């Protein structure tokens, strides 16, 4: 910044235990900063219910907590030498119909791992399974043998537990290998009992998993998914609604994967809104003809006459199916496509043919 040299921040070594003296430097809603000493910082495992709408993804997380602190917008948790051990963070939490706020500290190892991948332009692998904890006593009831029990019992007291598969991403390689309820014992020969450790050990193109299923220990080969991080690169606007191919996060959120296209957005006042075609739904058929991707959807809808109803088969986030009739209007709500190219974003307009408009006009009369 100008002539001022700003030193790089220092992250704590992941193998270093938390020091007794830690401090929280946070930014507050009123624009001020606050410096607090943290006493009795404790480990917590956060498992929040998914939000009613897919505004954000809620995954289990190991974090730190401290009691009786004023609210903030977050900041670093440092020791006396300024080394960062965690990031104090504000979380959005679904509470009934409302979104509330809660604060925990994310271990800096999680941030450092992601940052290193970014710096090295390395891929980020995911096991495509939502994991959470069971106690050793529960694992014993499910058939955990003495050999494995002794290995887990030899861990630190805080890690004497097991991970189990809570949910699998539909359509992923893991879906054909893992099952909900499987207990994950090791990854590539390393015993695993922490969420972050499971993610770190999954950073390989092939994995050997040892799991406990129905009282039997199985060794399974699994190919994790490589996340490219590029996000949405193509979308189609029709009748004032924005459609895209379904993405992985929706499959993880819903636990279902349907062929078709995902409604990401609807414009206020558009035909889609008039006819109650709302966002956060999948369209699986047009006029009774199944669609599997954005190309098929575009081919079906681009020649539908103006003001003539098209019947769209939809699936909600809860799996409910409906048929919704939508009449496009092309003067104010034209059909177009946007896609990412090496030169940047490109827009392609699909003008309705004169016959399409004429048929729509005749339909009005």
Tell the residue number behind the tokens 């972050």, with chain if given. 196
pLDDT at res. 362: 43
Kindly list the structural domains of the chain, giving each domain's residue range(s) and its CATH number in brackets, ordered by start: 22-119 (2.40.10), 124-226 (2.30.42.10), 234-364 (2.30.42.10)
Per DSSP bridges, beta strands 241-244 and 335-341 are unpaired
Length of the chain: 365
Q: Residue 146 has what pLDDT?
A: 95
d(Cα 73, Cα 277) in Å, to the nearest integer? 36
Whole-angstrom distance, CA of residue 209 vs CA of residue 195: 15
Return the SS3 of 348: strand
Q: Is 319 helix (H, G, I), strand (E, B) or coil?
A: coil
Q: Which residues of the chain have pLDDT under 50?
A: 360-365
Question: What are the counts of helices (DSSP H) followed by strands (DSSP E) for the chain?
Answer: 8, 24
Cβ proximity of 92 and 104 under 8 Å: no
Strand partners, 88: 75, 105
Query: What span, in angstroms and rounded, lies between the C-alpha atoms of 204 and 197?
Result: 13
Residues near 240 by beta carbon (within 8 Å), at least 6 away in sequence: 266, 267, 269, 270, 271, 272, 273, 333
> Sheet harboring 98-107: ordered strands across?
33-38, 22-27, 75-78, 84-95, 98-107, 61-65, 42-46
pLDDT score for 123: 81
pLDDT in tens, 6-39: 888 899 988 788 888 899 999 998 999 999 999 8
The confidence score (pLDDT) of residue 155 equals: 94
Overall pTM surpassing 0.85 (yes/no): no
Contact 301, 328 (CB under 8 A): yes
The pLDDT of residue 55: 65
Q: Is 16 left (phi over 0), alpha (psi -120 to 50) or beta?
A: beta
CB-based contacts of 64, cutoff 8 Å, min separation 6 = 18, 41, 42, 43, 44, 77, 86, 104, 105, 107
Find out whether 189 and 218 touch, Cβ atoms under 8 Å. no
């Amino acid at each position: 910044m100008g002539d001022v040299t700003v030193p790089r921040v220092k992250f704590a070594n992941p193998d270093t235990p938390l020091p007794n003296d830690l401090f929280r430097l946070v930014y507050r809603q009123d624009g001020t900063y606050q410096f607090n000493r943290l006493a009795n910082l404790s480990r917590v495992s956060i498992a929040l219910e998914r939000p009613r709408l897919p505004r954000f993804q809620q995954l289990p997380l190991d974090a730190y907590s401290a009691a009786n602190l004023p609210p903030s917008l977050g900041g670093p948790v440092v020791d006396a030498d300024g080394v960062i051990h965690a990031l104090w963070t504000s979380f959005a939490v679904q509470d009934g119909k409302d979104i509330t706020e809660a604060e925990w500290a994310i271990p800096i190892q999680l941030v450092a791992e992601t940052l290193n991948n970014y710096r090295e332009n390395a891929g980020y692998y995911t096991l495509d399974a939502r994991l959470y904890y069971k106690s050793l006593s529960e694992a014993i009831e499910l058939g955990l043998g003495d050999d494995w029990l002794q290995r887990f019992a030899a861990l630190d007291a805080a890690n004497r537990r097991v991970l189990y598969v809570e949910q699998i991403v539909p359509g992923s390689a893991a879906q054909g290998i893992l099952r909900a309820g499987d207990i994950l014992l090791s990854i590539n020969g390393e015993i695993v009992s922490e969420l972050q450790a499971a993610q770190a050990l999954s950073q390989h193109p092939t994995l050997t998993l040892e799991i406990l299923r129905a009282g039997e220990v199985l060794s399974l080969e699994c190919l994790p998914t490589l996340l490219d991080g590029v996000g949405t690169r193509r979308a189609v606007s029709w009748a004032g609604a924005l459609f895209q191919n379904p993405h992985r996060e929706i499959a993880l959120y819903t636990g279902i994967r349907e062929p078709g296209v995902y409604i990401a957005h609807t414009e206020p006042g558009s035909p889609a809104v008039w006819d109650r075609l709302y966002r956060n739904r999948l369209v699986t058929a047009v006029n009774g003809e199944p669609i599997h991707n954005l190309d098929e959807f575009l081919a079906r809808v681009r020649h539908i006459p103006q003001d003539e109803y098209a019947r769209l088969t939809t699936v909600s986030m809860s799996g409910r199916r409906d048929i919704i009739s939508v009449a496009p209007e092309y003067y104010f709500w034209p059909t177009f496509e946007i896609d990412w190219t090496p030169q940047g974003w490109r827009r392609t307009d699909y003008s309705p043919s004169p016959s399409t408009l004429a048929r729509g006009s005749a339909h009005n009369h």
